[in-house]
Amino acid sequence: MIKTFLCRLLLLVNLLGVSSIGRASDRLESSLIKVYSYVQRPDFDSPWTTKQSEKLVHMGIVVSDHRILVSAYAARSAKHFEGEKIGDSKRYGLKLKMVDPVANLAILEFSETEPEGLSEIDFGEDLELGANCTIYQGTEGESLVARTLRLREVQLQAGVLTSYSLPQYVFEIRKPGYGWFEPLIRNGKLVGAAISQSGSSVFALPVSLIKRFVKESESDHYRSFPELGISFSSLLSPALRKYGKASEYEEGVWIQDIKKTSAFAKVLKRGDILLSLDGTPVSARGSYEHPLWGRIPIVAMMSEIYSGDSVELKILRGGEEKTIVENIGPYSPELERIPSIIDEPPRYTIFGGLLIQELTEGLLQSWGTSWRKRAPLPYLFEDAFHSWPQQGGESKVLVLQRVLPLDFNKGYHSMEDSFVTAVNGIPVTNLTDMAKALDRPEKGKESFARFQLEPGHEEIILTYKGIAKIHNQLRQRYGIPKSAVFWEAGASGK
């Protein structure tokens, strides 16, 4: 009898829960649309062209003034947008208003008309660890599909389009196909949006980051995320603490390096010990206690700071405490030594069939979702250990990405995926350097261009004689348009 009663009670609770989710789904449909983006991504093997257009389907969230919030991933390389209200087959033209690849968020607006009955979504607050919420997925020609999730942890993760790290929710979900900006709802309000899925883990932006972006997008002076530009290691070793004269301190991390683009580049030194950031103590592991998310890395505080803000660092140098205050600048992905940009057209130059371009995150990711396993090891090594900018962001990594076969360059095809470090005996760190070096043949060897490669200390020797004719042959054989970037004598001085 009791068992039967409990079973009926459990069934009633489940039915009430399903009914509640169903009603919430009905209300939510007026605040969501499907966004169709038609994208053309760059072709890194043939950077003078693009790949075939493809259609991507993402969720869009209606915010203030009936603008549509989407992930920046949905807007990347898109040539055209259309919006479709949930449960309706009619599509409406959309146009890009603004995008922030660091935040991985973008705003779209309706080009002319818009669907009837749209309503702005209500924003909630960030979730605490262990909290439940509902994720809604829109399927083709159907209503929203709801699934209940529980917040497992919060991680500091690099974004989809840049290497800038922001706090991300981590949920576990067995079913694949999430990460297309599905909304996370709690008590009828938006608390986050899914941006990627890896295995059974779904990663989502907390609503605080979304609210920040939406508010700033309404301003005439958008304030982006700032760059701290400091790398550090733990200070758990008693010997290291003694060496740094920090034995009396329980907190602090060892500063390993400072970016040349950091606001603190001229005032910090390697070996300084960071004790606190804006008054928040830094543990010996480099973390701090977040009120909702527990212990997370101290750099997660950057999500609460804006470029242009004044930031205070308390450090220990030679046993003496110092306080440093600087106005912090914006993070600029294009200034990285390996720029953390994905879909911008590659920068390249062709000389005698040598296709040389800058190493970027986009080139790395051209190896597909498993690029960390499939990309050439030298690329991965540079990305992992030497990605910080030098020379004010002008220093890049030049890659011999491809050798377009001709008798002219016979014998050099096996040298693809090497780094070009010098041309005609002149060190080169970007395409401008390389063009100037090609304009300056070595004395006594004016007829030859010499490319030095790493790793392996290999060299490529090609002749300048008849190079214009060779470039015309390449255009004809490989269908390369006149707009493609071939080296021309003296062009570096134009």
Residues of the chain with CATH 2.30.42.10: 230-327
CATH topology of domain 334-493: N-terminal domain of MutM-like DNA repair proteins (3.20.190)
Q: How far apart are CA 412 and CA 170, in angstroms?
A: 47
243's enclosing H/E stretch is helix 238-243
SS3 144: strand
Q: How far apart are CA 47 and CA 485, in angstroms?
A: 9
- A 10 A CB-CB count for 204 gives 30
Q: How far apart are CA 431 and CA 112, in angstroms?
A: 43
pLDDT at 318 over 80: yes
Res. 446 pLDDT band, cuts 50 70 90: confident
SS3 362: helix
Q: How far apart are CA 208 and CA 124, in angstroms?
A: 9
CATH number for the region 230-327 comes to 2.30.42.10
pTM for this prediction: 0.85
Residues of the chain with CATH 2.40.10.10: 27-110, 132-217
Q: What is the DSSP string of 52-109?
A: PPEEEEEEEEE-GGG-EEE-HHHHTTEEEEEEEETT---EEEEEEEEEETTTTEEEEE
Residues of the chain with CATH 3.20.190.20: 334-493
Residue 204 near residue 184, CB atoms below 8 Å: yes
pLDDT at 439 over 80: yes
Average pLDDT value for the chain: 89
Q: What is the mean pLDDT of residues 107-136?
A: 95
User: What pLDDT was estimated at residue 368?
Assistant: 81
- Strand 418-423 relative to strand 426-427, pairing: antiparallel
Q: How far apart are CA 421 and CA 427, in angstroms?
A: 6
User: What pLDDT was estimated at residue 52?
Assistant: 86
Res. 352 pLDDT band, cuts 50 70 90: very high
Residue range 371-416, pLDDT digits in tens = 888 888 888 888 877 666 665 557 889 999 999 999 999 999 999 9
Q: What is the DSSP string of 363-411?
A: HHHTT-TTHHHHS-HHHHHHHHHS-S--GGGT---EEEEEE---GGGTT
SS3 177: coil
User: What pLDDT was estimated at residue 17?
Assistant: 46
Residue 345 near residue 358, CB atoms below 8 Å: no
Res. 248 pLDDT band, cuts 50 70 90: very high
Amino acid at 170: V
Res. 15 pLDDT band, cuts 50 70 90: very low
Residue range 36-88, pLDDT digits in tens = 999 888 899 999 998 888 898 999 999 999 999 999 988 888 889 999 988 78
Residue 149 near residue 134, CB atoms below 8 Å: yes
CATH topology of domain 27-110: Thrombin, subunit H (2.40.10)
Taking only Cα atoms into account, the Rg of the chain, rounded to an integer number of angstroms, comes to: 27
Q: Determine whether 321 is exposed, middle or buried from the number of CB atoms within 10 Å of its CB (0-12, 13-18, 19+).
A: exposed
May I ask the CATH class of domain 132-217? Answer: mainly beta
User: What pLDDT was estimated at residue 33?
Assistant: 92
Nearest to 299 by CA among 225, 249, 224: 225
pLDDT at 137 over 80: yes
Residue 147 near residue 133, CB atoms below 8 Å: no
User: What pLDDT was estimated at residue 194?
Assistant: 96
Q: 221: which residues sit within 8 A by CB, 6+ positions away?
A: none
What phi-psi label fits residue 397: left (phi over 0), alpha (psi between -120 and 50 degrees) or beta? beta
- A 10 A CB-CB count for 15 gives 10
Residues pairing with 330 in the sheet: 226
185's enclosing H/E stretch is strand 183-186
- Strand 183-186 relative to strand 189-198, pairing: antiparallel
Residue 81 near residue 122, CB atoms below 8 Å: no
Res. 11 pLDDT band, cuts 50 70 90: very low
User: What pLDDT was estimated at residue 27?
Assistant: 75
Residue range 261-275, pLDDT digits in tens = 899 999 999 999 999
Residue range 74-109, pLDDT digits in tens = 888 888 999 998 878 899 999 999 999 999 999 999
Residue range 148-164, pLDDT digits in tens = 999 999 999 988 888 89
CA pseudo-torsion sign 317, 323, 326, 328: positive
